Amino acid sequence: MIYEVPDGAAPLRQGDIFIGLPRIDLSLARVPVVRENGEHEEVKWEDIAKAHEPVSAVVAIRPVAAIVATQDCDTLRSPDITLCEIREFRDVERKCKETKTPSSWKSIITQQARVNLKWFYLPPDEKVGFSGKMAVDFMGTLRVARTDLEELRTLRSARLNPLADEHFRERIAEFFRRYPYDEWYALNPEELEAYRKEYPDVQPFPWQVLRKAPAPETA
């Protein structure tokens, strides 16, 4: 498919796919701290932060698939490498959880580049470790020390081929270049009314409020 297998000694690059990198999830409301005497305590992170001291804690770590997001020049010397988690496509794009026909899949896969900026499609490939359709979830990042990742190149199952890599590079840049804005700001009052049927909480901007014509003066 859209993958190639790099030489085991090849340096890290954006678009490298790893299977089995650690994802850490931690609740800042309940941190299971390990004290020096070996006892455990449940502490709020806020309290740990106030103490300005590092602590040891019990955390859950889950092995996940991930793709290198850090740019090529930084992958050579940056102390940390940023990766985006790769998840099952149906879990990232829930609109297609019931999709079955090739025609429907075709529409989703080809149109996603134009419409949805939050994920990047990765087709199945048993050699890579993807038994089903996958997606890079740009919303989910993880960080691994560069030297650790270099040591773990045995977990690098593939990298994107040049065409896919170029597309990925543009898509990830596009995702992080987005800025939040109220998309309804330019709608006219009638268009806004239609918009609010779908998003009833939306408030109009001053220029979107119809002004009533002043009543004619009476003598």
Partner 1 sequence: MRPLRRFAKTTAVVFGFLVGSATAGLDVWLNDSRRNTSTAVIGVGQGQTRRRITLLQARRIALEAMEWAERERLRFAEQEASSGPEWKDYP
Residues in the site for partner 1, rule: CB under 8 A?
Answer: 19-20, 24-27, 30-34, 39-44, 47-65, 86, 88, 91-95, 97, 104, 107-108, 111, 114-116, 118, 126-131, 134, 137, 139-140, 157, 198-199
How far, in Å, CA of 82 to CA of 78, rounded?
10
**Residue among 68, 74, 32 at smallest CA distance from 143:** 68
Joined tokens for residue 41: 């305590």
Question: Minimum CB separation from partner 1 for residue 210, in Å?
Answer: 26
Question: Minimum CB separation from partner 1 for residue 186, in Å?
Answer: 18
Say whether 168 sits in a helix, a strand or coil.
Answer: helix
CB nearer partner 1, residue 51 or residue 73: 51
CB burial class (10 A; 0-12, 13-18, 19+) of residue 216?
exposed
Residue 81, amino acid: I
How far, in Å, CA of 131 to CA of 134, rounded?
9
Question: Minimum CB separation from partner 1 for residue 192, in Å?
Answer: 17
Joined tokens for residue 210: 């119809």
Question: Minimum CB separation from partner 1 for residue 114, in Å?
Answer: 7
Joined tokens for residue 191: 């268009």
Torsion on CA atoms 8, 14, 19, 23, rounded to nearest 10: 130
> What stretch of H or E contains 33?
strand 31-34
CB nearer partner 1, residue 33 or residue 169: 33
**Residue among 205, 194, 67, 58 at smallest CA distance from 138:** 67
Say whether 114 sits in a helix, a strand or coil.
Answer: helix
Question: Minimum CB separation from partner 1 for residue 211, in Å?
Answer: 31
Question: Minimum CB separation from partner 1 for residue 47, in Å?
Answer: 4
